[in-house]
Amino acid sequence: MRKTALSLMLVFGLFGVGSAEMMHKEKTLYQRLGGYDAISAVVKDLAVRLVTDRQLGVYFKGLSNDSKNKLIAHLTNFVCSATGGPCIYTGRDMKTAHEGLGISDSDWNRFVELTKETLNKFKVPPKEQQEFLQAVAPLKGVIVEKK
């Protein structure tokens, strides 16, 4: 019995099973960003920047305050879900949501700039900023219509 216990300890030790490294799983980006409330605050700040931006504000003209609030709720759930959080995004897919708006590379680049400004305002660490921007980057192909 004692010999079996020693053998198991040796095997587990050799393969790292049960070790602190194996037991410690890195937190999701959602968790590292601070969870739902932090993501909600970031999205609200970014939404204000987008709506009031000289270049990008044109895409939000004509939206009522209720429509803007609904957009913020959808974006919050989208970001929550995309970063590994528990939210379920129920909005339209990104291609459908942006099709026909004529969004350009310049518009996309401005969106990225404003996103970085918001992430910096909330002191999001560089690693998390990079991960977030990498998660959003593939959307460029379905959002941008004008090169």
- For the stretch 38-95, pLDDT in tens is 999 999 999 999 999 999 999 999 999 999 999 999 999 999 999 999 999 999 999 9
Q: Token match 């305050």: residue?
A: 65
Say whether pLDDT at 122 is over 50: yes
CB 88 within 8 A of CB 81: yes
Report the pLDDT value the prediction gives residue 10, as an integer from 0 to 100: 34
Mean pLDDT of all residues in 111-139: 96
CA atoms of 11 and 52, how far apart (whole Å): 61
CA atoms of 67 and 84, how far apart (whole Å): 26
Report the pLDDT value the prediction gives residue 21, as an integer from 0 to 100: 42
Q: Token match 């941008």: residue?
A: 144
Instruction: Take residue 10 and report the two structure tokens written for it.
Output: 């040796």
Q: pLDDT-derived band of residue 14, with 50, 70 and 90 as boundaries?
A: very low
Report the pLDDT value the prediction gives residue 24, as an integer from 0 to 100: 55
| Structural domains for the chain | 27-143 (1.10.490.10)
Instruction: Take residue 34 and report the two structure tokens written for it.
Output: 């601070």
Whether 24 has a binding-site annotation, put simply, is no
Whether 74 has a binding-site annotation, put simply, is yes
Report the pLDDT value the prediction gives residue 16, as an integer from 0 to 100: 42
Q: pLDDT-derived band of residue 4, with 50, 70 and 90 as boundaries?
A: very low
pTM: 0.80
Helix extents (H) in 20-84: 20-23, 29-33, 35-52, 65-82
Say whether pLDDT at 9 is over 70: no
CA nearest neighbour of 104 among 68, 143, 57, 59: 143
- DSSP-assigned letter for residue 146: B
Q: For the ranges 22-31, 102-111, 132-141, which has the lowest average pLDDT?
A: 22-31
Stronger pLDDT, 7 or 46, i.e. the higher one = 46
